[in-house]
């Protein structure tokens, strides 16, 4: 049902939530160079996902694949509100966050293809983008699994900043989750600890209105006002229009800086919409084409493209050149991934952890474990090792 917003413009909101506050209208426009960079990131994520869908249909990508088309403004705007040293953790719809955080299209696509040049050496795939250099601590495939990790990352930075370095906490962790994760126990445990321990973490619910194929109204209490989920833990909550990059950036900038200053957690109900199904195998029979068309009229790239033209930050020719440049980059990434080697089977035993007391000697050992040609290289975390 359409929901009025505070600027008087109608908003077709499947979430049925409260009016979405507008923040960007009275803010100064960001620098033209920044606007051009954001536009390119939006287009890069969209083009990357389109090529992923094609590669999946060509059977070059296996397993699960959850594309991000329609939600690009969320990743770009949220990452722009962070500092590079701020940790970020997310769920399985993670390609957009990885690209926005600075991962190359080559590394991201090679991971999609399961090749050794991928960000996780081809062993993670679509749901497990990881980029320590850019402080991206993973996409995670289990619903809600990243929410306690977000609390843990925030605790680690707070401990390092305040206890080890004797200073004021300066890093903010951002943890993304879908609206379906709100009903997981791990989410509530994480928010309880975050509130109790004053952790500098921002939980961003990418509220696209559906938990897989279930409308949020059918599966979640208080679906009209998700802020109540956070207020019960004494955590400040905000509602932001996730289809508008400027609204995301300005709204998140306020939330992040307040979290950084006070070292207190925050919760954001980010209203958005995914154009495609939950995964590549989802035919989207739970919603109508009319509903999709309404949301496509408010496409985040179209909204931002109009804005940069109005601001004089880009011309029509510059927009076409940016789109062409992005297509070239993504085609190169596909070719790079296609030519990257498949990881050897023995690599299954590298870069994982084992219990420090040695190899398992029970009787239920998987056959594959005993069939390795090279000795396992599991190891425990070394004393004093900095995992951040």
Q: What is the CA radius of gyration of the chain?
A: 21
User: What number of other Cβ atoms are within 10 A of residue 18's Cβ?
Assistant: 17
Classified as helix, coil or strand, 215 is strand
pLDDT value of position 11: 52
Once rounded to an integer, what is the mean pLDDT over residues 346-368? 63
Task: Output b/e per residue, 93-130; b: 16+ Cβ within 10 A.
Answer: bbbbbbbbbebbbbbbbbbbbbbebbbbbbbbbbbbbb
Q: What is the pLDDT of residues 263-322, one digit of tens each?
A: 999 999 999 999 999 999 999 999 999 999 999 999 999 999 999 999 999 999 999 999
Once rounded to an integer, what is the mean pLDDT over residues 327-349? 94
Tell me, what DSSP letter sits at residue 119? T
pLDDT value of position 372: 40
Once rounded to an integer, what is the mean pLDDT over residues 120-129? 95
pLDDT value of position 58: 96
Q: What is the pLDDT of residues 65-98, one digit of tens each?
A: 999 999 999 999 999 999 999 999 999 999 999 9
How would you classify the pairing of strands 214-215 and 173-178? Answer: unpaired
CA distance linking residue 96 with residue 101, whole number of Å: 8
Q: Look over the chain and give the mean of its residue pLDDT values, rounded to a whole number.
A: 89
Is the pTM value of this prediction over 0.95? no
Q: What is the pLDDT of residues 12-41, one digit of tens each?
A: 578 877 789 898 988 999 999 999 999 999
Q: Please give the residue that has the higher pLDDT: either 3 or 139.
A: 139
CA distance linking residue 255 with residue 280, whole number of Å: 33
pLDDT value of position 8: 44
Q: Please give the residue that has the higher pLDDT: either 112 or 18.
A: 112
CA distance linking residue 43 with residue 37, whole number of Å: 10
pLDDT value of position 374: 41
Element counts in the chain: helices (H) and strands (E): 13, 10
pLDDT value of position 379: 45
Q: Alpha helices of the chain — where are they, by DSSP H?
A: 32-57, 72-81, 95-101, 105-112, 146-158, 185-196, 216-219, 227-231, 245-262, 289-296, 300-311, 316-339, 367-370
329 pLDDT band (50/70/90 cuts)? Answer: very high
Q: Are 329 and 105 in contact (CB under 8 A)?
A: yes
Q: Which residues, 6+ apart, have CB-to-CB distance to 382 below 8 Å?
A: none
380 pLDDT band (50/70/90 cuts)? Answer: very low
pLDDT value of position 18: 79
pLDDT value of position 102: 97
pLDDT value of position 162: 87
pLDDT at 358 over 70: no
pLDDT value of position 355: 56
166 pLDDT band (50/70/90 cuts)? Answer: confident
pLDDT value of position 123: 92
Once rounded to an integer, what is the mean pLDDT over residues 167-185? 93
């Amino acid at each position: 049902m359409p929901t009025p917003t505070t600027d008087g413009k109608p908003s077709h909101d499947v979430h049925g939530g409260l009016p979405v506050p507008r923040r960007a209208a009275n803010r100064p426009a960001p620098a033209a160079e920044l606007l051009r960079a954001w536009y390119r990131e939006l287009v890069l994520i969209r083009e990357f996902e389109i090529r992923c869908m094609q590669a999946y249909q060509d059977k070059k990508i296996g397993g699960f694949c959850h594309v991000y088309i329609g939600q690009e403004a969320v990743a770009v705007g949220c990452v722009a509100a962070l500092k590079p040293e701020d940790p970020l953790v997310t769920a399985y719809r993670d390609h957009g966050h990885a690209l926005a955080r600075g991962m190359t299209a080559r590394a991201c696509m090679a991971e999609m293809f399961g090749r050794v040049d991928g960000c996780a050496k081809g062993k993670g795939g679509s749901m497990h983008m990881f980029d320590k250099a850019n402080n991206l601590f993973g996409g995670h495939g289990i619903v809600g699994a990243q929410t306690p990790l977000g609390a843990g990352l925030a605790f680690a930075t707070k401990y390092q900043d305040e206890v080890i370095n004797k200073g004021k906490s300066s890093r903010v962790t951002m943890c993304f989750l879908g609206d379906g994760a709100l009903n997981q126990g791990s989410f509530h445990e994480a928010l309880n600890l975050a509130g109790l321990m004053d952790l500098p973490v921002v939980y961003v619910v990418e509220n696209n209105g559906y938990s897989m194929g279930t409308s949020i109204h059918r599966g979640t209490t208080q679906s009209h006002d998700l802020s109540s989920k956070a207020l019960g833990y004494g955590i400040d909550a905000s509602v932001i229009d996730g289809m508008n990059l400027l609204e995301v950036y300005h709204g998140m900038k306020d939330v992040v800086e307040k979290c950084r200053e006070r070292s207190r957690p925050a919760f954001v109900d980010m209203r958005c919409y995914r154009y495609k199904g939950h995964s590549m195998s989802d035919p989207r029979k739970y919603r109508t084409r009319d509903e999709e068309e309404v949301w496509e009229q408010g496409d985040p790239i179209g909204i931002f493209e109009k804005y940069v033209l109005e601001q004089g930050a880009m011309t029509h020719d510059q927009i076409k050149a940016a789109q062409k440049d992005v297509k070239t980059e993504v085609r190169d990434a596909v070719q790079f991934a296609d030519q990257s080697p498949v990881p050897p089977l023995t690599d299954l035993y590298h870069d994982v952890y084992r219990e420090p007391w040695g190899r398992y000697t029970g009787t239920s050992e998987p056959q594959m474990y005993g069939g390795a040609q090279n000795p396992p290289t599991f190891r425990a975390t070394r004393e004093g090792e900095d995992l951040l």
